[in-house]
């Protein structure tokens, strides 16, 4: 008999050993801890006692507590991964999560910034050299926030003619890729590098004390500037939406935009076409925003 607390700890260590992203490990650990706490309140303390009905009651409790369908769906992913691990490790003999269904999600239209809005954001951060570089990278490359936080100085290759590339390392969740850098983002990066605090670490973006700039720091900083220009409904991820939508709107190849954005499926990129007026100019390349 394996206690839930012990099973959870082994699961978390397995995620870490497999190189899963830190954000994923933290989220899954909290999700399984939440499930375990619920089970304990039902007088269940061991992993093999968990049943499909217990999981369903847990998910129903989340729904009654006003968790969104998207959040519940993410927790189901964690639960399914957890029980697959327990099955592989022979801690349990049957997988009670095998037939748990995800809630049907309604797809909301992506929030795409207008030219006026993203120019206003640029203007607001112009005196903050680090945030200016971060904003340009988001708008000109469509990076995920976790990818931006992980950029190392040597991931960036700048040529003498104001062109360059960014090498994005692959992870378990997302494929690695090479992203072309235009003059706007190169100028912003060069400006920041001149004033970058000294650091023993090789992360591009660091704090004043030389520590890596964390995802939460990036999100909080950009959120503060967005609030200043009254774009309270905009998130960091919407800058990525804007990158994808703007380049598709200008006629860039769907395949190219999908590859640069790191979408796992081409259909993810194609979905944006429903929300834009596309110019069939056949550019096939990316322009500066």
Average pLDDT over residues 223-245: 94
pLDDT at 171 over 80: no
Band (pLDDT 50/70/90 cuts) for residue 285 is low
Nearest to 226, CA basis, from 235, 215, 218, 237: 235
- Give the residue-averaged pLDDT of 64-72: 89
> How confident is the model over 5-9, as a mean pLDDT?
89
Q: Quick: pLDDT tens for 202-211.
A: 999 999 998 9
Task: Out of 195-199, 274-278, 280-284, pick the least confident.
Answer: 280-284
Asked whether the beta carbons of 261 and 241 are under 8 A apart, the reply is no
For residue 283, count CB atoms less than 10 angstroms from its CB and return exposed for 0-12, middle for 13-18, buried for 19 or more. Answer: middle
Cα separation of 225 and 220, whole Å? 9
The burial of 230, by beta-carbon neighbours within 10 Å (0-12 exposed, 13-18 middle, 19 or more buried), is given as exposed
Rg (CA), the chain: 22
Look up the pTM and report it.
0.65
pLDDT of amino acid 254: 93
Per-residue pLDDT at 200: 85
The percent of residues above 90 in pLDDT, for the chain, comes to: 64
Extract the tokens encoding 186. Answer: 């190169």
270 pLDDT higher than 90:
yes
Domains of the chain, earliest start first: 4-88 (1.10.150.130), 115-275 (1.10.443.10)
Instruction: Give the closest residue to 136 by CA, choosing from 157, 161, 119.
Output: 119
Residue with the bigger pLDDT between 132 and 69: it is 132
Q: CB of 144 within 8 A of CB of 151? A: no
Per-chain mean pLDDT for the chain: 89
* β-pair partners for 212: 206
Cβ-count burial of 193 within 10 angstroms (0-12 exposed, 13-18 middle, 19+ buried)?
middle
């Amino acid at each position: 008999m394996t206690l839930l607390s012990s099973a959870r700890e082994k699961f978390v260590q397995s995620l870490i050993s497999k190189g899963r992203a830190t954000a994923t490990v933290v989220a899954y650990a909290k999700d399984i801890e939440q499930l375990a706490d619920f089970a304990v309140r039902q007088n269940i303390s061991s992993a093999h006692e968990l049943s499909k009905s217990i999981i369903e009651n847990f998910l129903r409790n989340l729904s009654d507590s006003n968790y969104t369908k998207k959040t519940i769906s993410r927790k189901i992913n964690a639960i399914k991964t957890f029980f697959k691990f327990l099955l592989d490790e022979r801690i349990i003999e049957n997988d009670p999560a095998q037939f748990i269904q995800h809630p049907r999600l309604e797809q909301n239209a992506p929030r795409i910034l207008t030219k006026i809005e993203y120019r206003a954001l640029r203007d607001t951060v112009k005196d903050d050299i680090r945030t200016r570089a971060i904003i340009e990278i988001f708008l000109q490359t469509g990076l995920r926030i976790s990818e931006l936080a992980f950029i190392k100085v040597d991931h960036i290759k700048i040529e003498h003619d104001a062109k360059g590339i960014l090498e994005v390392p692959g992870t378990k969740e997302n494929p690695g890729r090479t992203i072309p850098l235009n003059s706007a983002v190169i100028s912003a990066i060069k400006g920041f590098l001149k004033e970058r605090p000294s650091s023993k670490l090789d992360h591009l973006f660091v704090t004043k004390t030389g520590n890596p700039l964390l995802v939460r720091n990036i999100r909080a900083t950009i959120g503060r500037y967005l609030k200043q220009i009254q774009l309270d409904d905009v998130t960091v991820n919407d800058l990525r939406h804007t990158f994808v939508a703007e380049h598709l709107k200008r006629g860039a190849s769907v395949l190219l935009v999908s590859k640069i954005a790191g979408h796992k499926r081409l259909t993810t990129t194609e979905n944006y076409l429903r929300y834009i007026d596309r110019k069939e100019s056949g550019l096939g390349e990316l322009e500066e925003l």
